[in-house]
Structure 1
Amino acid sequence: MELSLTLLELAGFAALLLWGVHMVQTGVQRTFGPKLKTFLAGALRNRMKAFGAGAAVTVALQSSTATGLMLTAFQAGGLVALAPALAVMLGANVGTTLVVQVLSFDVAAVAPLLVLAGVILFRRAQDAPHDFGRVLIGLGLVLTALHQFLALLEPVVAAPAAEAFLAQVGRYTPLAVIVAAILTWAAHSSVVTVLLAMSLTTGGVIPLETGVALVVGANLGSALNPLLEGADAADPAARRLPLGNLINRLAGLVLVMGAFSFVAPWIARLGPTEARALANFHTLFNLALALLFLPWIRTYAKLIARLLPARQAADPGAPIYLDPDARGTPAVALGAATREALRMTDTLEEMLKGLKESLAGSSRTSIQATKRLDDVLDRLNTAIRAYLISIPPETLTPDESARLAQILAFATNIEHAGDLVDRNLLSVAARRLKRGVSFSPEGEADLVRLTDRVLANVRLAGAAFVSGDRSAARLLVAEKESLRAVEADAVAAHFQRLQSGDANTLDTSSLHLDALRDLKRINSHLVEGAAYPILQSVGELLPTRLRQVGDRG
């Protein structure tokens, strides 16, 4: 029973450790996020700067796994080339050893002070100081959890069964490596495993040789998380960085294991105590790997790229119909641009469908997926604009010039509509989830009804844009007036629910009103992009809606 409680406490402190690391990571990313990316981008110009940046970022994040996951996403998205990314990971591995060096000293006494300072900043400050408070709280939790975790392990490893198991592990070095790799993968942190190996070695539970095997296994295990969790399994190219990192860890493992009988006795001379010797070996091991791979990192990157060629997949943001050779024939080029602009309406439809799911659902996944579609709209609009302005103006007839202006206006307004979904309406959905509130059933129904009306108007706008039909344009303008009335009725009903004391309405009032307003603004962009140019071209659009002086009608 006592052992079961101890194991439960160990699991609790392990969870506290992971949560502390998570708080440090999110705090650093929120405090220095844009600067962190700029710092990385600036450092990626040569291998030594990239190596140093990897070490610095890992010390800040307290985890090479976090650095690996972040960098894997950057590299898979094409934001970072493979060679400098591999250099960053070599630096990240060294950065982890520096974290171990600091934590190997008795620094648990400062944990309460870190938590206290963090709470004060978190509760009293705003913006960057507020987020830095998270970092301090996370560091305090990490130190506390590590101290308690290692203290609780002492009676566990002293148990006869544990001693027997560790003795078996110590007699078979490959088993020690495998156990350490699995433990590191499960804990998402090589720091825990290395500090555990140092503690067990100091206590005489395991010999120094087994401690060395555990350290090498921990290095291997920390390379598994980015490979298994950070890479897109559908695209082999997304696995290049984590696989390259894993291979250099395996190379280090093979070298150490191959010379283990010679290396192990020498390691005892690296420090005054066995624990310090292991910490210093951990640092030297990763420095040696960096020295081994950095000189030929570009060649190594090319080999990895050949091993994992990029999957040829359709890019949703890449234009399909914009044929450069057609620009000499404006009528054909304008037709191609029209077809491309229609793809933007398809994307906007998908965004509105995702928005409807996000407003009513409880998952953040749909929000992130819908936000990515706005990048597709931006890229298509940029491609269409660049294509149209590259058509020689002298080759255009007056009618073709007018059509070119209509296409530009339509694509621009569709992009603006997508921006409203991305920046405003999806923000409403995200804030609702963050606050843990729900729209009232009536309010949610109003939002869904209005979104469906806007969806139908997207299709109508596409039809009017392609056909140039005046009746379709007039119908779209009439829909603008009709939707304005629907929005006004929804606002009035919302205020009635507020007056009746409806709790959900009160909790989500500002979110609900923002969503209604922005849905109406999206519809206005549809009218401005599709209907007004048509009606203006035939003289059916008034220059102003203001009543003329003396006009009593």
Structure 2
Amino acid sequence: MKHLLNLLAAIALLVWGTHLVRTGVLRVFGANLRTMLARSMGNRFSAALSGMGVTALVQSSTATSLMTSSFVGQGLITLPAALAVMRGADVGTALMSVLFSLDLSWLSPLFIFVGVVLFIARQAGTAGRVGRVLIGLGLMLLALEMVMQASGPMLASPVIKMVLGSVRSDIALEIILGTVLAVLAYSSLAIVLLIAAMAASHVVPLDVALGLVLGANLGSGLVAVLTTAKSAVEVRQVTVGNLVFKVLGVLLVAPFIGLWLRHLQPHMPGTAQGVVLFHLAYNILISVGFIGFTQWVARAVAWLLPKPESAQRRRPQHLDPSALSTPSLAISCAAREALYQADVVETMLLGVLQVIRHNDQDLAERLRKMDDEVDELYSAIKYYLTKISREALGEEESRRWADIISFTINMEQVGDIIERVLQDIEDKKIRKGRDFSEAGMAEITELHQRLVDNLRLGMSVFLNGNLRDAQRLLEEKVRFRDLERAYAASHLLRLSDGTVPAMETSSLHIDLISDLKRINSHICSIAYPILESAGALAPSRLKALRAAPAPLNDHP
């Protein structure tokens, strides 16, 4: 039992080390890696080379698959180009398995020591993230050594011999088992290295190890499919197409395992090297041999997973799941989506005046339905932000994270108010055939124009964080409040004069200018985080009142 626990601990450490390296590299170089991928789509061969390079760095073809899928989902690259990237990605992860199969155990304590020093010294900076990568590399090398040490004593166990005996010579079972292990570990690289280490220790026979390697390759493709199962069709097409290539490769290579064992394995420097080189040969074969078929597979996948007939792009489109490992990039994605949410709110706000002027009930209904999109975007952005690792955020990034949440909340509440305003206009004005007085309509038009200008200014403040613009926005809150009070008083004067339109629309008029003021308050709230971080906010009025002495009462 002790040896089994040691082996399981070694496997867990190997998977965890792979995770640390992958997330660490993405956090340091994620944006640059994505740029390199996006710029290398001129032809299928340069795309494959870029996929190989990116995967060699992040040590995960699944991570590369998610990046590439997101590009297709945003319309930046075509499906055949994305499949070409994945052909190179598989070779990249296979090259890393060859590198780690070498005896690099002496580097493990060095990587861990330097990594811990960097991580502790500058945890939130680039140095800390590089230290995280070094810790992961050291743990991977240490885990491989532990696998070798723990697997030896297990050979004497009759239970292990019985299990291995049932797996031997059943290639289908070997492939299935390797697939399951890769899915559970979320890393084909870790499983291939584990299989190589266990084969070198004679825990598994060599022929079984090669079958498990084929299954691990199949599992890496299946992991990407499962990860993108709820994504847009364009994204799923990439992962399904990549899985098709892997299935074809397994079907092609599996019958020739015996030839490898008889003719090539005797020339290998060792058992572990034979396993990882078989893994490399498999991926080179399906990458070079199948790269000319990317167009055909792309057409087949497009037929299997057709795009929706609707010409509208699915939203949200900026919340890229592959960017979550690079917090600064993920925050930028969330900010872009938040600006789109504000664009939808602006469209609703602009339409309000058209509804009032022309009594357009159809337009009112369309605008009210847009609030559902605003709400959905708010939920999507909020959920996306919660998936960003807060530990990896610096002070400025954490502040931006909070600003985005605050901005989307305000936009969602503005959308709700506009929806209620439109409903009131339908109920109290359009259906009853009433109109505002000429003076009342002029006041509403003035407030509406100021509101649109303030919304655009608020979007600029959110995007640029300009202190002067934030101050202007807060000043507009006071002006708008004064206008709302003045126009409410003017409306009461018209009522006292007996103006018929003013009397018929009095309730709606008062409610409308009050709602416009509430909308303006939410928009002006965008300025508070900028002013607070700059120390430009005055002490609260409540504190001033509490600090002032109580007035003397002259009456008994």
Q: Which TM-score applies when normalising by structure 1?
A: 0.62
Q: Residues 225 and 511 of structure 1: is their aligned pair in 2 closer, same or farther, counting only changes over 3 Å?
A: farther
Q: Hey, what's the Cα distance between the residues in 2 that align with 1:51 and 1:480?
A: 51
Which amino acid letter does the alignment assign opposite residue 244 of structure 2?
I
Counterpart contact for 1:121–1:132, Cα < 8 Å: yes
Which runs of structure 2 are paired with 1:51-130 in the superposition (5 Å)? 51-125=48-122, 127-130=125-128
Give the structure 1 partner of residue 160 of structure 2.
162
Q: Residues 87 and 150 of structure 1: is their aligned pair in 2 closer, same or farther, counting only changes over 3 Å?
A: farther
Q: Hey, what's the Cα distance between the residues in 2 that align with 1:242 and 1:372?
A: 35
Deviation per CA, 1:115-138, whole angstroms, max 9, x where unpaired? 222222223346322322221122
1:293 to 284, 290, 294: 290
Which runs of structure 2 are paired with 1:391-540 in the superposition (5 Å)? 410-411=451-452, 413-414=454-455, 417=458, 471=510, 475=514
Q: Hey, what's the Cα distance between the residues in 2 that align with 1:178 and 1:107?
A: 31
Deviation per CA, 1:125-157, whole angstroms, max 9, x where unpaired? 463223222211221122222221332122224
Q: Does 1:305 align with 2:302?
A: yes
Q: Hey, what's the Cα distance between the residues in 2 that align with 1:265 and 1:157?
A: 25
Q: Residues 150 and 81 of structure 1: is their aligned pair in 2 closer, same or farther, counting only changes over 3 Å?
A: farther
Give the structure 2 partner of residue 241 of structure 1.
238
Which amino acid letter does the alignment assign opposite residue 475 of structure 1?
S
Q: Hey, what's the Cα distance between the residues in 1 that align with 2:378 and 2:63?
A: 33
Deviation per CA, 1:275-323, whole angstroms, max 9, x where unpaired? 322222211211110112212312321221111112356645798999x
Look up the SS of the partner of 1:223 in the other structure. helix
Q: Does 1:147 align with 2:186?
A: no
**Count, aligned residues:** 426
Q: Hey, what's the Cα distance between the residues in 1 that align with 2:77 and 2:407?
A: 22
- Larger mean Cα displacement after TM superposition, 467-476 or 11-20: 467-476
Q: Residues 411 and 512 of structure 1: is their aligned pair in 2 closer, same or farther, counting only changes over 3 Å?
A: closer
Deviation per CA, 1:243-276, whole angstroms, max 9, x where unpaired? 1111111111111223444444233145233332
Counterpart contact for 1:166–1:206, Cα < 8 Å: yes
2:265 to 251, 264, 268: 268
Q: Residues 411 and 305 of structure 1: is their aligned pair in 2 closer, same or farther, counting only changes over 3 Å?
A: farther
Counterpart contact for 2:174–2:215, Cα < 8 Å: yes
Q: Residues 298 and 362 of structure 1: is their aligned pair in 2 closer, same or farther, counting only changes over 3 Å?
A: closer
- Larger mean Cα displacement after TM superposition, 270-279 or 210-219: 270-279
Q: Hey, what's the Cα distance between the residues in 1 that align with 2:229 and 2:75?
A: 13
Counterpart contact for 1:321–1:340, Cα < 8 Å: no
Identity %: 29
Deviation per CA, 1:489-535, whole angstroms, max 9, x where unpaired? xx9xxxxxxxxxxxxxxxxxx99977x999xxxxxxxxxxxxxxxxx
Q: Which has the higher contact order (CA 8 A, sep 6+)?
A: 2
Give the structure 1 partner of residue 190 of structure 2.
192
Which runs of structure 2 are paired with 1:341-360 in the superposition (5 Å)? none
Q: Residues 416 and 122 of structure 1: is their aligned pair in 2 closer, same or farther, counting only changes over 3 Å?
A: farther
- Larger mean Cα displacement after TM superposition, 295-304 or 472-481: 472-481
Q: Hey, what's the Cα distance between the residues in 2 that align with 1:257 and 1:481?
A: 67
Which runs of structure 2 are paired with 1:365-404 in the superposition (5 Å)? none
Counterpart contact for 1:54–1:95, Cα < 8 Å: yes
Q: Does 1:253 align with 2:247?
A: no
Counterpart contact for 1:351–1:421, Cα < 8 Å: no
Which amino acid letter does the alignment assign opposite residue 235 of structure 2?
A
Q: Hey, what's the Cα distance between the residues in 2 that align with 1:351 and 1:28?
A: 30
Q: Hey, what's the Cα distance between the residues in 1 that align with 2:225 and 2:406?
A: 23
Q: Residues 471 and 269 of structure 1: is their aligned pair in 2 closer, same or farther, counting only changes over 3 Å?
A: same
Q: Residues 127 and 299 of structure 1: is their aligned pair in 2 closer, same or farther, counting only changes over 3 Å?
A: same
Look up the SS of the partner of 2:306 in the other structure. coil
Q: Hey, what's the Cα distance between the residues in 2 that align with 1:481 and 1:32?
A: 41
Q: Hey, what's the Cα distance between the residues in 1 that align with 2:17 and 2:464?
A: 31
Which amino acid letter does the alignment assign opposite residue 92 of structure 2?
G
Q: Hey, what's the Cα distance between the residues in 2 that align with 1:473 and 1:337?
A: 18
Q: Does 1:25 align with 2:22?
A: yes
- Larger mean Cα displacement after TM superposition, 301-310 or 197-206: 197-206
Q: Residues 254 and 364 of structure 1: is their aligned pair in 2 closer, same or farther, counting only changes over 3 Å?
A: closer
C-alpha RMSD of matched pairs (Å):
5.3
Counterpart contact for 2:144–2:197, Cα < 8 Å: no
Q: Hey, what's the Cα distance between the residues in 2 that align with 1:374 and 1:79?
A: 26
Look up the SS of the partner of 2:83 in the other structure. helix
Which amino acid letter does the alignment assign opposite residue 33 of structure 2?
L
Counterpart contact for 2:448–2:516, Cα < 8 Å: no
Uncovered stretches (5+) of structure 2, i.e. residues with no partner:
317-339, 348-353, 390-400, 416-440, 466-483, 485-504, 538-556
Look up the SS of the partner of 1:107 in the other structure. coil
